[in-house]
Amino acid sequence: MVWKRKTRKKRQIAELHPDEILLDVDNLPAFDRQQFEGRMEQPLTKRSFNMLFGAMVVIALGFVGRLGFLQIAKSAYYEQKSENNSLNHIAVFADRGVIYDRNGTELAWNTEGNNVAPTFRNYITDGGFASLLGFVSYPAKDAKGNFWQSRIVGKDGVEKQFDTDLAGQNGTQLIETNVSGETVSQGVIEDPVQGKNISLSIDSQVQSTLYNGIQALAQKSGYVGGAGAVMDINTGELIAMTSYPEYDENVLSTGKDVTTINGYLKDPARPFLNRMTDGLYTPGSIVKPFFAMAALKEGVIDQNTVLHTTGEIRVPNPYAPGQYTIFKDNANHGDINMAQALAVSSDAYFYEIGGGFGTQPGLGIANIDKYSDLFGLGQKTGINYAGELTGTIPSIAWKAKIFPKDPIWHIGDTYHTSIGQYGFQVTPIQMLRALAGIASRGTLVTPSILKSTDGKPLGPVEHLSFSNDEYSVVFNGMRLDVTQANGTASNLMDQNIAVASKTGTAQINNNTRVNSWIEGFFPVDAPKYAFVVLMENGPNISTGAKYAIKPVIDLYSSTPSLLTE
């Protein structure tokens, strides 16, 4: 029997490393259970894995829910928190410049404020300054609290005209805040620059006196409005310039009294209109001194020429033989010369020297236009004040354009133009500048609301070429207007100040209403100031503008120092 040797498959034994043997030997007596010594590792069960996965899902859903809550439901809240936790550049508002009158009286100034409520603008409470000074608009924020207007802005009058100078420049403050909106630190990184102060040529006492005179006459006699000014004929400085009615500057600046503001907007008397520069009016007889100068210059008449007036001029009607067109005078003045015609404001006299009659030649419409232009009528004066209008001087070309169905120029058109009617339209400031040209014997200055620092004109100057004799005739006539018993401005006769003047009444609204004017200058021997007053749209029986200027003449008469300013 063959014995087969059984062979056994040798078991492979993994190699043991000495450090493992030594480690096991060292730990045999006492296993460190805290280090999991002596324990056998076992795999996790399926149940354990499911529990762990479930826990992770719950935690993830919690994070997602919380994130949605923060990003959606509380987004606005945390957006504000985020903004609070930042560095902000905050405007440090500049103080607006102060506006003074010529004597240092404050007309517009500031009350202390802060970055939440910027400085408040205050205005002189005496009447007559609103249309001159204007008003302001304060800084404003949007719905998020951000400034869309970051400074005080001038909206009318001097406040608007000189806004750049008055405004100054805002500074910047850096403020650090935390998430609670609390200020952590702050500091100014750019200081504000205060606005420039401005000294106007206006005398506040004369201004308020003139306004009160205009207001009293308007309320007494039924005028819709009025305006007036006093000007230094050598420098062009406006000592007063006012318009009635006016608005309350503080009401417009704050914008809170909506009822009052709407009342201003709907008021037919137009309180926002500065009638001195922005109003156009039919001048009436106050143009007569200028056409008197023109007639003397052109040799149409001389100072000794006497014309016979009968209270009217009758002109044969070329379209109806035997019939006449009648041009009425304000009275039958008989035989009068140039100075007397000015004193009594004879329309018939100026019809004749304007358009001619019989053997008496007239200027004609071409010369009327020429001398109107020479004195600056129907033109801007160049005053340093926004909103000035021009006007209209009737002419042949003007009529052809305005009345295409009746373009032919008639002698009656010349007559009416020569007494400041027909299509004549001027601003009161134009008439003031023109009259100053006569009062100064030939210097047309540019009106200014700023004070001259050297006693010289602030704007361009033009010179007129008339003789002293021609000026003297008009001086004499305008002086007689005050000194003669039948002069149209005899109420201005004053023992302390010699005044020369010319009144005017312009028919409007189909002769149912009138504009009343007065212009003049004083003292006659050495003229320094010229004045003009317009009373707008009153009934035919209204008391004239000469009564509005009377308080100003009385003021100068009782305060001699005003004449030496």
Determine contact, residues 493/475, Cβ cutoff 8 Å: no
Each residue's pLDDT expressed in tens, for the chain with a length of 565 residues: 444 444 444 455 555 555 555 545 445 455 555 555 555 556 667 777 778 777 787 887 777 777 766 667 666 666 665 655 566 667 778 889 999 999 999 999 998 765 445 888 999 999 999 999 999 998 887 887 777 787 889 999 999 999 999 998 888 877 766 666 676 666 667 888 899 999 999 999 999 999 999 999 999 999 999 999 999 999 999 999 999 999 999 899 888 899 999 999 999 999 999 999 999 999 999 999 999 999 999 999 998 899 999 999 999 887 888 899 999 998 999 999 999 999 999 999 999 999 999 999 999 999 999 999 999 999 999 999 988 999 999 999 999 999 999 999 999 999 999 999 999 999 999 999 999 999 999 999 999 999 999 989 999 999 999 999 999 999 999 999 999 988 999 999 998 999 999 999 998 888 889 999 999 999 999 999 999 999 999 998 778 999 999 999 999 999 989 988 7
Q: Beta partners for 516?
A: 505, 535
- Per DSSP, the three-state class of 328 is strand
Q: How many CB atoms within 10 Å of residue 188? A: 12
Longest dimension (CA), the chain: 189
Q: For residue 339, what are the contacts with CB-CB under 8 A and spacing of at least 6?
A: 303, 473, 474, 476, 477, 480
Nearest to 372 by CA among 349, 409, 398, 338: 398
- The CATH code belonging to domain 87-199 is 3.90.1310.10
3-state SS, one letter per residue, for 168-202: CECEEEEEEECCCCCEEEEEEEECCECCCCEEECC
* Cα–Cα distance for residue pair 255/155, rounded to 1 Å: 12
Up-side HSE of residue 220: CA atoms within 13 Å toward CB? Answer: 13
**204-564 adopts what CATH topology?**
Beta-lactamase (3.40.710)
Instruction: Tell me the residue ranges of DSSP E strands in 222-333.
Output: 225-232, 238-244, 307-309, 312-316, 324-328
Q: Which helix (H) or strand (E) holds 472?
A: helix 468-483
* Cα–Cα distance for residue pair 386/244, rounded to 1 Å: 18
- State pTM to two decimals: 0.82
Q: Where are the domains of the chain?
A: 87-199, 204-564
